[in-house]
Chain A
């Protein structure tokens, strides 16, 4: 499994420029919002958590389409289906690498983009915490979408349509947790733990469902 991890990291660093495209897209989304909403610091601070999450969600979708597509096209996927390594484990590692080059850098750069939205202090900390535990779920849900659409010539749009609705619960609870810290009377921990729970659920469920879809769809 270490071999697959190293290969996937190498590939994403050498071919797509690693985390940079996702980060640039994230920056574009987050920077446009203050222009659209207007220079009202109070309003911006209210929606800042939501903006970071929408940016992260959209940026995470970018690399998903290629999670299995490249391997399907060059025959590597055939070898992975034949091999003795359990397929769900392969999917798990690939999802983990996807998160390492999207979700993780998006989380770490949140303080920088928080400036544009007037997000600082405890709410910023809460936003980073929810991004850290919540973005893995996008990668694991996304793996299922990528597996289902792997044999379609233009699966990218369908992939987004499949994945975005499944991410709605994560976004609701994550943004709820950020809002709790920025002065609402709601508590922080229940929504935060919900986000963690959803991530763990999909980390287990996603690889098995994606593996099933790959076996069915790739003959």
Chain B
């Protein structure tokens, strides 16, 4: 499987934030998107997830997973944004159960996923009672309970301590070994083996 962007341009409000950007990333590869604040990292991820329209250029995918043959690019993505997409007054388990049912393609069970992110035993705790790092890990567990070949991660390790970060690196490594793709916008190294870097420049002419 290979995801390619051909000279894409994305607007944020009135400004072109991402302009004439091309890259490609294949199964088993991680693409680290770097660049200073405001360089358009989040904008690029949101565009791949279909949340922002492309002003120019195109995104193409080749050799999709047979389970996702009919799906759009966005539908093949897990998007981990700045927000955790969890409800404070539902328990961690209820939140994950909902996203598994909603997203389809079930992968790990809720308890297995919580075990993988080190939140075992917390499935019946209201999400609001978790600490910042635990919330982030619950959000990572959301990507494990249903399967998507492409992971779009926006500052995935924000709020995670070193141990959790390396645990998350192992999860990303496993996803890549299964033939997945990881595209991550980050300022910190993610401790992955097979990575490529994409550095976004802040556009000065707008």
Q: Which of B50, B52, B85, B97 contacts A74 (CB 8 A)?
A: B85
Query: What secondary structure prevails in chain B residues at the interface with A?
Result: loop
Tell whether A3 pairs with B104 under 8 Å between CB atoms, given A73-B83, A82-B51.
no
A-B interface pairs (CB < 8 A), number: 70
A60-81 interface code vs B (CB 8 A; 1 in, 0 out): 0000000000100111101111
Q: Say if the beta carbon of B71 comes within 8 Å of chain A.
A: yes
In the assembled complex, how far is the CB of residue A157 from the closest CB belonging to chain B, in whole angstroms? 24
Please report the total number of A residues contacting B with Cβ < 8 Å: 24
Q: How far is the CA of A84 from the CA of B70 in the complex (A)?
A: 11
B83 touches A74 (CB 8 A): yes
Q: How far is the CA of A14 from the CA of B118 in the complex (A)?
A: 27
Nearest B residue to A71, CB-CB: B85
Residue among B12, B82, B97, B103 with the highest chain A CB neighbour number at 10 A:
B103
Q: Say if the beta carbon of B58 comes within 8 Å of chain A.
A: no
B86 touches A74 (CB 8 A): yes
A1-28 interface code vs B (CB 8 A; 1 in, 0 out): 0111011001100110000000000000
A78 touches B104 (CB 8 A): no
In the assembled complex, how far is the CB of residue A213 from the closest CB belonging to chain B, in whole angstroms? 15
Residue among B12, B94, B102 with the highest chain A CB neighbour number at 10 A:
B102
Nearest A residue to B13, CB-CB: A219
Q: How far is the CA of A218 from the CA of B49 in the complex (A)?
A: 13
In the assembled complex, how far is the CB of residue A81 from the closest CB belonging to chain B, in whole angstroms? 6
In the complex, besides A75-B85, A82-B49, 10 extra interface pairs with C-beta distance below 8 angstroms are A7-B90, A14-B90, A74-B86, A78-B49, A81-B51, A83-B75, A84-B103, A85-B102, A219-B46, A219-B53
- List 7 interface pairs A-B (beta carbons < 8 Å), by A numbering: A3-B101, A7-B98, A14-B90, A74-B84, A76-B87, A84-B104, A218-B51
State the 5 A-B residue pairs at the shortest beta-carbon distance, nearest first.
A75-B83, A3-B101, A75-B85, A76-B85, A7-B98
